[in-house]
């Protein structure tokens, strides 16, 4: 069956048909996948019963993989390229660190100095209903701003924190997370290095605009997040086991909705492709 792409929503996303990721990817297939990735921002491959090694090998086509040194508590012990997104309890019976991963609008690893280029998330065991992931097209969000707003934010930086919503993490986890991940300032507008298009770079991990107080920053941050996640910019993914979902973190943002019965297992595994260096450790002398 020849490779085929079917749009998933008006705003972004396409399903890829006719590719078996257990097989090596021939160059012309890779070129078609890469072009579709740049065009649609999110790609879905259904029914991929791949091993961890095959997941990692396919991910490497996109670039060098993050070994998740900034989230060591969540990576797999034997495959540091794999980040666990799971509600499975730990071997000692304590709650998973990552059951609330992604439950804030964000772009992966925005709180580091090498924010992710892309992410490849595999649905290993998903709930029968819910546990969806929402995506937003940050090109469309940027394009829809007024010229005055574009001018206002052109040179501003948002300060990204590595926190998690609803986390209920141990004090030890929180302290380690803060130690490893000091707040990082990223431009509010980034130029995509491959398409040359401008995209908004904002999410709920942004607590402040660098050089402004929190009070001054909040209305602007709130507006931009609300604007960027308007329904017409989004695609909602309903997971099935053996889905591989890939997204371009440079022009999309996403949210794990957490809309599922926690008695059901939700276990996904993610590789993260390293992006180009961006941002700097935040200057936060203004905190009031
Ligand atoms: C993530 O943000 O990488 C996880 C998304 C999800 O669990 O739906």
CA neighbor of 39 nearest in space, from 224, 187, 238, 252: 252
101 CB within 6 A, ligand 1:
yes
Any domain includes 213 = yes
Give the mutation target among 118, 163, 256, 271 for probing the ligand 1 site: most ligand atoms within 8 A of CB.
256
How many A from CA of 270 to the centre of ligand 1?
Answer: 8
The pTM score is 0.95
Is ligand 1 within 6 A of the CB of residue 109? no
- 192 belongs to a structural domain: yes
Residue 288 belongs to a domain: no
Residue 189 within any structural domain of the chain: yes
Residue nearest to ligand 1 atom 1, measured at CA:
102
Q: How far is the CA of 99 from the centre of ligand 1 (A)?
A: 10
In this prediction, residues 22-26 reach a mean pLDDT of 95
Q: What is the mean pLDDT of residues 209-228?
A: 97
Does 287 map to a domain?
no
Residue 286 lies in a domain: no
CATH number for the domain including 124?
3.60.130.10
- pLDDT, one tens digit per residue, over 79-120 is 999 999 999 998 888 888 888 889 999 999 999 999 999 999
Q: Using CA positions, which residue lies closest to atom 7 of ligand 1?
A: 256
Residue 196 C-alpha to ligand 1 middle, in angstroms? 26
Residue 263 inside a domain? The answer is: yes
Q: Which atom of ligand 1 is nearest to the CA of 257?
A: 8
Tell me the chain's radius of gyration from C-alpha atoms: 18
CB 215 within 8 A of CB 226: no
Domain that holds residue 138: 4-281
- The total number of structural domains that make up the chain: 1
Tens of pLDDT, residues 123-158: 999 999 999 999 999 999 999 999 999 999 999 999
Q: Is residue 108 part of a domain?
A: yes
């Amino acid at each position: 069956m020849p490779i085929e792409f079917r749009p998933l929503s008006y705003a972004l996303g396409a399903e890829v048909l006719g590719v078996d990721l257990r097989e090596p990817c021939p160059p012309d297939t890779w070129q078609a996948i890469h072009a579709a990735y740049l065009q649609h921002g999110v790609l879905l491959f259904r029914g991929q019963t791949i091993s961890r090694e095959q997941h990692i090998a396919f991910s490497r086509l996109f670039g060098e993989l993050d070994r998740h040194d900034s989230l060591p508590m969540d990576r797999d012990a034997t495959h540091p390229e794999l980040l666990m997104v799971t509600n499975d309890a730990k071997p000692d019976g304590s709650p998973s660190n990552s059951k609330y991963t992604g439950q804030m609008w964000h772009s992966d690893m925005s709180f580091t100095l090498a924010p992710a280029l892309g992410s490849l998330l595999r649905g290993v065991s998903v709930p029968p209903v819910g546990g969806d992931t929402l995506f937003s097209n940050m090109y469309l969000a940027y394009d829809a701003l007024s010229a005055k707003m574009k001018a206002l934010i052109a040179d501003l930086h948002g300060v990204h924190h590595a926190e998690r919503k609803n986390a209920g993490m141990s004090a030890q986890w929180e302290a380690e997370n803060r130690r490893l991940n000091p707040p990082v300032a990223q431009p509010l507008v980034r130029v995509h290095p491959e398409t040359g298009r401008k995209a908004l770079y904002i999410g709920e991990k942004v607590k402040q605009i660098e050089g402004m107080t929190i009070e001054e920053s909040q209305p602007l941050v709130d507006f931009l997040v609300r604007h960027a996640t308007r329904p017409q910019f989004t695609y909602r993914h309903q997971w099935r086991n053996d889905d591989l979902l890939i997204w371009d973190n440079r022009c999309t943002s996403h949210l794990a909705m957490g809309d599922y019965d926690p008695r059901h297992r939700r276990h996904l595994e993610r590789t993260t492709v390293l992006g180009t260096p961006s941002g700097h450790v935040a200057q936060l002398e203004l905190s009031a």
